[in-house]
Amino acid sequence: MFEVKLDTVRQLSESTKEFRFAIVGQGSLGYEPGQFYRFTFEDVQGVFQRSYSLSNLENQEGKHLDIIVSKVEGGRATSLLFNASPGMRARVTGPHGRLILPRKAPKHLFLIATSVGVAPYLPIMRRLENENYEKVDLFFGVRDRGEFIYEDFFKAYAEENDFFDFRLCLSRENAEAEYEYSGYVTDLLKKENLSPSGSLFLVCGNPQMVEDVWSFLTGRKFGGPQVIT
């Protein structure tokens, strides 16, 4: 366990913020992109915990932890973090989780996310730049374009890396741009010509989406090791 303090807060969308915590004292991060840390906070009600995937795009082995939090009405963590000032402290344990890249690159990697579930894919995508991946697709589900966080990053990444493509799945708006799709990520996935040979799926986001994707893929004879949540 180590201690961190809130350094900066950045508004990403109307309902989403990025929080950067700095490690207090000596030490630095040692984690695999995609993993999460468990934060212990304290408010007027007492001590409580929340788990957050790191969204670090830079200095992945450095002394800060970036997390993305979406506002939840009445949420305890939301109430604390969205009203916090720099200097607020928390205790952290980790890293945890198995949503990481395999040692051997698959032929086709799918990154499936909804809302802030896209967080772990940011450091993963940085790692991909130095790996030998043939094809990577990101399916990112949001309600509307106002929730399309890190838009500039994803567009630039797709332009700079031939192996990468992304689709923005809009559940409450009609598609207009070439990269947009009207519907849920599960709907788009069902339209794909999927091959169990050489495919790997990383899935993060809304629990119902994760369950639906898991059920669909395992029903299509994709083995458990090919679908990581």
Q: What is the mean pLDDT of residues 184-204?
A: 94
Give the chain's mean pLDDT.
95
What residue numbers bound the domain in which 45 lies? 2-96
Residue 224 lies in a domain: yes
Q: What's 90's domain CATH number? A: 2.40.30.10
Strands lying side by side in the sheet with 36-43: 46-53, 36-43, 89-96, 2-13, 16-23, 64-70
pLDDT one-digit tens code per residue, 35-91: 999 999 999 999 999 999 999 988 767 799 999 999 999 999 999 999 999 999 999
Given 73, 96, 119, the domain boundary residue is 96
Q: What is the mean pLDDT of residues 175-203?
A: 95
Q: What's 125's domain CATH number? A: 3.40.50.80
Same domain, 8 and 55: yes
CA distances from 96 to 23, 36, 133, 152, 169 (A): 17, 5, 25, 29, 28
Give the pLDDT confidence score for residue 66 in this predicted structure: 97
Alpha helices by DSSP H, the chain = 76-81, 121-128, 151-160, 185-191, 207-219
Give the pLDDT confidence score for residue 156 in this predicted structure: 97
pTM: 0.95
Q: Give the Cα separation of 107 and 207 in Å (integer).
A: 27
Q: Give the Cα separation of 30 and 56 in Å (integer).
A: 12
pLDDT one-digit tens code per residue, 101-157: 998 999 999 999 999 999 999 999 999 988 889 999 999 999 999 999 999 999 999
Give the pLDDT confidence score for residue 60 in this predicted structure: 67
Give the pLDDT confidence score for residue 29 in this predicted structure: 86
Same domain, 125 and 199: yes
